[in-house]
Structure formats: C-alpha cells, structure tokens
Amino acid sequence: MKILPRVLTAWLGITVALVSDAAPATSAAVQPPERTAGKLAWAELLTSGAPADSAAFYSAVFGWRAEITGEGFDSRVTFFLGDRPIAAAAHRAASRPAPPRARWLLYFATADLAAATGRVSARQGRVLAQTDSPNPVARAVLADPEGAIFGLLPAGADRPEEYAAAPGEWIWPVLFARRPDLLVEFYRDVLGHDIHPERRTPLFSGDFVLADGPRARAGAMALPAGTTGRPAWLGLIRVTDLEATVQAATRHGGEILRPPTEDLIGGRVAVVSDPTGAVFGLVQLAAATGPHASGPSRITRLRP
C-alpha cells in the first residue's frame, strides 16, 4: 500500500507516551481468539480518557458490539464482531494533562513469549512492560530498535485454520520505518518471519513482506525521506463499503487523514482517526475473480 506513508507523518509520533511507561493492558477477561505464531493476534486501544467513551464510535463505524465493565478511567471494553472478540480498550495515563488522546497497540503471537522478549533486548529493542500472569493471558509491550511499539502474546496450542478476514476484522498490519531493510531482520529474529522484498510493482521497491511460508503476515515500508514522524505500526480493517465507512467515521467525530484512494495491488484504502486521534486504516478489497476467488485475499497471501 504505497500511498500511505505520505499522509502518516503528522501522527506517527504523537501518542507514544501513552504506552512508553505503561504496564500491559488488562482491558478484559477475554482470551484473544486466534493466536497463530507470527500473526497479528490482538489489538488494544490505549486511551488517556475513559475507555467506555470509545465504544460508541467503533460500534457505529464497524458494528462492533461493546461489552463494558467498570466506570470512568477504570472502565474496560471488549469489542466483538458477532461473537468473535475483535479488540479491547483500556486506560493509560498521559504524561501531561491534555484532552484525551489514544492509539492502537497491535499484538503479535509468538511460540515462546519469554524467549521472544529476550531476543528483543538482545537485538537493541526495549521491553516496556511485561506480565507473566495468565489472567487473561501473559503479554509484553515492546519497542523495536527504531522505537515502533508493538505487543507480544503467547501463541495458542493449536494452529487454527487460515481464513480471509471478514468485513469488520483486522486484515493487515504495516510497519513504517526509517530503514525497513534493517528492521525486518529484527522482526525475523524475534518472530521467525520470512522476509520477502515486495516485487509486485517497481513502485514497491524498498518495501518488504513479512511471511510465514506462503502466508503474508505484515508489510514494512519506508517513511518518506526527511519526515520528522516516528516509526510505527498501522493496523488496517477490512470493510465492504469504503465511502460509507469513512462517512460514518466523520459523522461520529473521526477525521479523514487519507481519503479513499485506489490501491496499487487492487482494492481501495483510506486512513482515518477516531475522535481521540487513534489512527487506523480501512481496506475495501477488489472483487475476487478466477479459481482462487473464495480463498484468502491477495493482501494476506504471497503471490508466486
């Protein structure tokens, strides 16, 4: 998704303080549903405001059902798409008083949480917070050598069947970095990814796909030259009607950072933020055709 870096430089560095000194969130007593090693496993909205205040926006935009416990800053939210847990929201105090701000924290699954956390430190990353408690699940919050923040969860005992993300689900994480060619080696060592240069079009030169065999797990792209933004992960959510979703976001207080635009590999994308500044991407896939039309989308599978 080559169009995205030009529009992200304004926000990449504004919310790092929300997690830099925080313990891992325990926003809901729910097990993230799918924890395949190396794959995006969970997403958590960290907000300096009351977590329950985020429920109306995401319910209106994506149809997520919000289960709320507690009140005020102590409230905790779990979002569901149907009966499937999708994400959570938790309070994290900001470093200075200000209007509520938020960011999405993306968690990846790993076969050995303790070993992966150790590899982060050994490869110039940082362990920001860690808990070994299994209630609801052990986890760690980390920063890579360029400062992009991400989380780790232990992988499940079984490897679930792969499937294409449904509308309303997270479909693709992408890393924006100053030197993605170097940083992908860090994630290969920590998460066991295979690294593939993106070659589907010459315009993707310098981009990478992080994969698990034939399955693409994430992308890595360079920040624009001269940007002052910080490296960061961006999560994208699949939708069926991009314009309608963007309009719903703005009606409920969100902001358009990148209007709907044709993607270079098929489909359309947009980037928006919620009322507290948490940024996420939207993807409307092109209609699939051919013998693999019912299989995984092109965005989550490497092509020959």
CA distance 97 to 196: 43
Asked if residue 210 and residue 147 are part of one domain, the reply reads no
Residue 174: per-residue pLDDT: 94
Asked if residue 243 and residue 282 are part of one domain, the reply reads yes
Residue 177: per-residue pLDDT: 94
Asked if residue 183 and residue 86 are part of one domain, the reply reads no
Q: Which DSSP string corresponds to 141-186? A: EEE-TT--EEEEEEPPSS-PPP-PPPTTSEEEEEEEES-HHHHHHH
Question: What's CA 133's distance to the chain center, in Å?
Answer: 23
Domain with 35, as residue range(s), is 17-154
Asked if residue 287 and residue 181 are part of one domain, the reply reads yes
Residue 262: per-residue pLDDT: 84
Residue 17: per-residue pLDDT: 38
Residue 279 sits in a domain whose CATH number is 3.10.180.10
Total residue count of the chain as it appears in this document: 304
Instruction: Give yes or no for a contact between 198 and 180, defined as CB atoms under 8 angstroms apart.
Output: no
Residue 206: per-residue pLDDT: 72
Asked if residue 271 and residue 211 are part of one domain, the reply reads yes
Q: Which is nearest to 168 in space by CA: 287, 58, 42?
A: 58
User: Which among 154, 189, 215 is the end of a domain?
Assistant: 154
Asked if residue 135 and residue 24 are part of one domain, the reply reads yes
- Segment (H or E) for 209: strand 208-212
Asked if residue 100 and residue 71 are part of one domain, the reply reads yes
Q: Residue 4: inside a domain, yes or no? A: no
**CA atoms 115, 189, 187, 263: torsion sign:** negative
Tokens of 94: 């900001």
Q: Along the 304 residues of the chain, how does pLDDT read in single tens digits?
A: 444 443 443 334 333 334 444 444 444 455 566 677 778 999 999 999 989 999 999 999 999 999 998 888 888 899 999 999 999 999 887 666 577 889 999 999 998 999 999 999 999 999 999 887 665 678 899 999 999 999 999 987 666 566 778 999 999 999 999 999 999 999 999 999 999 887 665 555 678 999 988 888 999 998 877 777 789 999 999 999 999 999 999 999 999 999 998 875 668 999 999 999 999 999 999 874 433 333 333 344 333 2
Residue 96: per-residue pLDDT: 61
Q: Residue 83: inside a domain, yes or no? A: yes
